[in-house]
Amino acid sequence: MKFRTVLLLLTAAVLAGCVSSEEQRARDEEKCRSYGFSARNDAFAECLQRIELDRRAEFRRRSDFDDWTRPVVVYRPVVVAPRP
């Protein structure tokens, strides 16, 4: 019983974070309107573009620092003694 409850809550939490592309577009447009841009002009389109570019840059930044993508380097130090 507890396992099902935990599984249901976990599934609900994961799905709550999902946003469709239409919902994301509406949020982006609302953000640009809150900045004072009016729809259907070049400044509004540039605002939307900058938001999307920021989102992509943030995604790249997060994925660049993922510990699973870093190569593991294993080496043994070699001590070189100077010749007499």
Asked whether residue 41 is domain-assigned, the answer is yes
In a domain, 58, yes or no: yes
Residue 25, domain member (yes or no) = yes
Does residue 59 lie in a domain region? Answer: yes
Q: Could you read off the pLDDT of 51-81 as tens digits, one per residue?
A: 999 999 998 888 766 666 666 778 888 888 8
pLDDT of residue 12: 73
Q: What pLDDT sits at residue 42?
A: 95
> pLDDT tens, 8-35?
878 877 776 788 889 999 999 999 999 9
- Residue pair 28/48 in contact by the 8 Å Cβ criterion: yes
**Total domains, the chain:** 1
Residue 36 lies in a domain: yes
- Domain hosting residue 59, numbered range: 19-63
Structure tokens at 57: 């840059």
pTM of the full predicted structure?
0.60
Measured distance CA(11)–CA(75) in Å, rounded: 43
Higher pLDDT, 9 or 48: 48
In a domain, 26, yes or no: yes
